[in-house]
Amino acid sequence: MTDLHTIGLDIHARKGPEIHPPMRSTAEPCTLVIVGITGDLAHRKLIPALYNLERSHLLPDGVRVVGMGRHDVPLESLMYGLKESTAEHSRTQPIDADVWHKFAQRFDYIANPGEGSGAFKTLAKLMEEHKEETEGNRMFYFATPPSAFGTLLKRINAAGLIHHPREEHWTRVILEKPIGHDHDSAVELNELTADFLDEKQTYRIDHYLGKETVQNILIFRYANAIFEPLWNRNHIDHVQIEACETIGTEGRGVFYDQTGVVRDIVQNHLLQVLAMVTMEPPSSFHSESIRDEKVKVFQSLRQIYPQDVGKDIMHGQYRGYRDNEGVADDSRTPTAVAMRFWIDNWRWQGVPFYLRAGKRLEQKVTQVSIHFKSIPLCLFGDDEACAQIEPNVLTLRIQPDEGISLAFNSKVPGDAINVGSVEMDMSYEHAFQKPIHDAYERLVLDCMRGDATLFARRDGVEQTWKFIDPLIKTWESAKDPVPQYEQGSTGPKEFHDLIEKDGRRWHHTTTDSST
Ligand code: BG6
């Protein structure tokens, strides 16, 4: 193995005429109703995101926010709690008191959206009062478990709060994941949603799609002429997608134990990333063209059979997971997974995709690495030099340390022919010297603009479940113990065996401390 040097390339955003993106509609005024405002998601993600939009002057003046939650608390206490959590979780620090003051003026709170409470009538009244500033537009964010979606839609509909899609004013609903817990329940939930909403009004959020680095995958592929010709089975040996987290269940033991790593992060976030990396060029940058191409990738995923599980797909559970509150003492829920799978289409036939994800692993890193084929012939005559040649690797670093790097070989200065692998590296932070916005900021704003490009479409969600279902069913019907791994390790030994038996290794490697 040769040492990896990083070339000190100084990549900055090139100055020159400003390049104008295609015209994007602006965010429109509306009443934004956050159902579940007292919950974790609202406190950690949504409110800090909205606050930062306010701070960047991106939130239109005519946006009112109505929080709905189970606790009967006065608005002042709710705002106090929201401010505290924004101070803790906001990407900009410290909180600006004037901005917060302006932001807080937008809020109302309605407690107990339960049956017969009249909460939605109160909501309708509030919306009517603010109709002039909000232009009568309504945006709902269901930050609740999916089991509540149906009831909520029924109540909103009964209160007459859903505009017909052809009306001048709009109603849009953001649904938080998970959309179902398997294929059938996803179809059921989608059908139920379709009873009340047109697909154009339905925004299934996947916050990975709002990450700058994930959006950049398409820009990288389609704003550069030099990569796309190589982006196929003729030049690519294999692709790795890694999403390692250091955190555990973070107080979400009950949810996580029913969910597990595959439903939590693979079926949605990582398959969405996979689609961005592997899709065909869309006919335009219009949301439906992009989403059409992504669905084609999902349709081409090679089916998983029970016999593949344990051979191409390995799972693990970190030691101590069962001690979490809400987790069963004999839980078999996997907290980490490693898998090898294929996309059966012309572009990717025969190229293995390796995916690794999990909690309580050694380091937080989410990245996609494209491993190119080896050179066809070594010309250097010297076995040692030839052995030093590493295949090129392009790494798209999604987080942290957002950037892109390309590993290639170079002559090591000196008399002899010595080859060393070096890296050309682009870091977002250095290249653009601009803060990276949180995914929720972008996605909430997109919904206010009516742009669904970065939201999951119904057919895509159902198709990804079709791929995942056999895997989950096989695990759930098995009785054998789930391999354990140490917290802070690189996962169970089986994860390494899976890729090493093919003569490859995980791209993100630090110290190997598997069980
Ligand atoms: C969420 C999962 O959807 O994504 C969490 O429910 C996970 O378990 C999180 O930790 C990861 O998101 P990010 O943005 O921190 O990579």
Q: Where in the chain are the domains? A: 30-169, 209-500
Pairing of strands 236-244, 30-35: unpaired
Say if ligand 1 is within 6 A of residue 266 CB. Answer: no
Q: Which of 181, 207, 321 is the pocket-test mutation for ligand 1 (most atoms within 8 Å of CB)?
A: 207
The protein residue whose alpha carbon is closest to atom 2 in ligand 1 is 264
| The predicted structure's pLDDT at residue 165 | 81
Strands (DSSP E) along 136-253, which ranges?
Answer: 138-142, 171-175, 202-205, 236-244
Distances (CA, A) of 161 to 64, 117, 136, 158, 410: 15, 16, 10, 8, 64
Q: Is residue 446 within a helix (H) or strand (E), and if so which, with residue range? A: helix 439-449
User: Which ligand 1 atom is at minimum distance from the Cα of 256?
Assistant: 8
Give residue 256 CA to ligand 1 midpoint distance, Å: 11
Q: Is residue 67 within a helix (H) or strand (E), and if so which, with residue range? A: strand 63-69
Q: 47-55 and 439-449 are packed helices; what angle lies between their axes, rounded to 10 degrees?
A: 80
Say if ligand 1 is within 6 A of residue 245 CB. Answer: yes
State residue 219 phi and psi, 5-degree precision: -65, -45
CA atoms within 13 A on the CB side of 206: 26
CATH number of the structural domain 30-169: 3.40.50.720
| The predicted structure's pLDDT at residue 16 | 46
Say if ligand 1 is within 6 A of residue 264 CB. Answer: yes
Matching fold, domains 30-169 and 209-500: no
405/403 Cα distance (integer angstroms) = 7
43/88 Cα distance (integer angstroms) = 10
482/319 Cα distance (integer angstroms) = 11
Q: Which of 264, 266, 442 is the pocket-test mutation for ligand 1 (most atoms within 8 Å of CB)?
A: 264
Burial per residue of 411-448, b for 16 or more beta-carbon CB atoms within 10 angstroms, e otherwise: ebeeeeebbbbbeebbebeebeeeeebbbbbbbbbbbb
Give residue 273 CA to ligand 1 midpoint distance, Å: 14
Per-residue confidence in pLDDT tens, the chain, 515 aa: 334 444 444 455 555 444 444 445 689 999 999 999 999 899 999 999 999 999 999 999 999 999 999 888 999 999 999 999 999 999 999 999 999 999 999 999 999 766 666 899 999 999 999 999 999 999 999 999 888 899 999 999 999 999 888 888 999 999 998 899 999 999 999 999 999 999 999 999 999 999 999 999 999 999 999 999 999 999 999 999 999 999 999 888 999 999 999 999 999 999 999 999 999 999 999 999 999 999 999 999 999 999 999 999 999 999 999 999 999 999 999 999 999 999 999 999 999 999 999 999 999 999 999 999 999 999 887 788 888 899 999 999 999 989 999 999 999 998 888 889 999 999 998 999 888 889 999 999 999 999 999 999 999 999 999 999 999 999 999 988 899 999 999 999 999 999 999 999 999 875 444 43
Give residue 335 CA to ligand 1 midpoint distance, Å: 13
The protein residue whose alpha carbon is closest to atom 11 in ligand 1 is 265
3-state helix, strand, coil in the chain (%, to 5): 40, 20, 40
Give the number of other CB atoms < 10 A from CB of residue 126: 17
Distances (CA, A) of 88 to 45, 69, 444: 11, 21, 20
List the catalytic residues: 269
Token pair of 233, please? Answer: 């089975």
Under 8 Å between Cβ of 196 and 163 = no
User: Which ligand 1 atom is at minimum distance from the Cα of 208?
Assistant: 14
| The predicted structure's pLDDT at residue 513 | 41
CATH topology of domain 209-500: Dihydrodipicolinate Reductase; domain 2 (3.30.360)
What's the pTM value of the predicted model, to 2 decimals?
Answer: 0.92
User: Which ligand 1 atom is at minimum distance from the Cα of 249?
Assistant: 8
Give residue 189 CA to ligand 1 midpoint distance, Å: 22
Place of tokens 């190997």: 512
The protein residue whose alpha carbon is closest to atom 7 in ligand 1 is 265
The protein residue whose alpha carbon is closest to atom 15 in ligand 1 is 245
| The predicted structure's pLDDT at residue 277 | 98
The answer to whether the Cα torsion of 411, 415, 417, 419 is positive or negative is negative
